[in-house]
């Protein structure tokens, strides 16, 4: 008799358990039967640090006389370079750099850079200004943004399908994601959505995402 009661109670408990579970699962089944919702992709959040920030300031250049600089491709041609006016008579300067503000490093063609360097006028410049001087971009706009890692990236864009990205390289021993290496220029092709070589700079994927919003 006692055994029968125990069995009946056990069966009741088992049935109650499964009924309760069915009730609990019911809402989930309803959700599953409706079309699956795909959450909207969050918009990339980035901080624009500076926009069009000219960083070239060389007061000593005013005392440097104009100089003739030989063409790199034709030794019979020379160009007149004035670092006090930040002008050069070469075709690159006339075509691409004449309209750039005097205190913007993108104004310097390779001849202007050569004279500035020969006269030791580059020592007080910021590392970014120096990187742009060494590898001047023809692009019109310069936007500096901060990545989620804290690294700053300066993007030169507007002009052609190639965007110039200036950022620091990783130095051995860097920790915490902040890079302290030398500034370098990386080319990115907007049309083909690819870096000019390799995997691009540190944070390349985030930079690519930012580029799609900045350009």
End-to-end Cα distance, the chain: 84
Residue 111 as a binder of Zn ion (CB under 5 A): the answer is yes
According to DSSP, residue 95 is labeled I
- Eight-state DSSP code of residue 97: I
Total residues binding Zn ion (CB under 5 A): 5
Radius of gyration of the chain (CA): 31
When asked if residue 88 is in the footprint of Zn ion (CB under 5 A), the reply is yes
Q: Which phi and psi (to 5°) does residue 165 adopt?
A: -115, 120
Distances (CA, A) of 186 to 5, 189, 193, 195, 199: 81, 10, 13, 7, 10
CB of 81 to Zn ion, least distance (A): 7
Q: Of residues 58, 86, 87, 93, which one binds Zn ion by CB under 5 A?
A: 93
Segment contacting Zn ion by CB under 5 A, of 6-14, 90-98, 100-108, 194-202 = 90-98
Region of 82-90, 131-139, 147-155, 186-194 interacting with Zn ion (CB under 5 A): 82-90
Part of the chain binding Zn ion (CB under 5 A), chosen from 70-78, 85-93, 143-151, 164-172: 85-93
Which window, 6-14, 25-33, 39-47, 104-112, contacts Zn ion (CB under 5 A)?
A: 104-112
**Site for Zn ion contains 109 (CB under 5 A):** yes
Q: Does 96 bind Zn ion (CB under 5 A)?
A: no
Q: Return the bridge partners of 82, or none.
A: 87
Q: How far from 125 is each of 34, 64, 72, 132, 172, CA to CA, in Å?
A: 61, 17, 25, 11, 24
Q: Would you give the DSSP letter of residue 59?
A: G
Q: How far is the CB of 126 from Zn ion (least distance, A)?
A: 23
90, 147, 153, 211: which one binds Zn ion (CB under 5 A) = 90
- State the residues that interact with Zn ion by CB under 5 A: 88, 90, 93, 109, 111
């Amino acid at each position: 008799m006692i055994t029968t009661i125990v069995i009946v109670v056990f069966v009741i408990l088992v049935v109650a358990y499964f009924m309760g579970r069915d009730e609990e699962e019911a809402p989930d089944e309803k959700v599953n039967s409706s079309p699956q919702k795909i959450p909207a992709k969050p918009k990339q959040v980035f901080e624009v640090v500076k926009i069009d920030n000219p960083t070239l300031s060389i007061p000593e250049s005013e005392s440097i006389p104009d100089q003739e600089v030989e063409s790199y491709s034709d030794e019979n041609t020379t160009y007149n370079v004035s670092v006090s006016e930040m002008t050069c008579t070469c075709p690159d300067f006339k075509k691409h750099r004449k309209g750039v503000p005097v205190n913007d490093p993108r104004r310097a063609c390779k001849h202007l850079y050569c004279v500035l360097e020969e006269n030791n006028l580059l020592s007080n410049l910021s590392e970014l200004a120096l990187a742009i001087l060494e590898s001047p971009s023809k692009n019109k706009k310069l936007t500096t943004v901060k990545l989620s890692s804290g690294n700053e990236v300066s993007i030169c864009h507007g002009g052609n399908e190639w965007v110039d990205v200036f950022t620091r390289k990783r130095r051995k021993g860097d920790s915490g994601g902040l890079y302290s290496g030398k500034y370098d220029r990386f080319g990115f092709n907007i049309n083909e959505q690819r870096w000019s070589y390799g995997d691009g700079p540190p944070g390349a994927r985030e930079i690519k995402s930012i580029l799609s919003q900045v350009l």
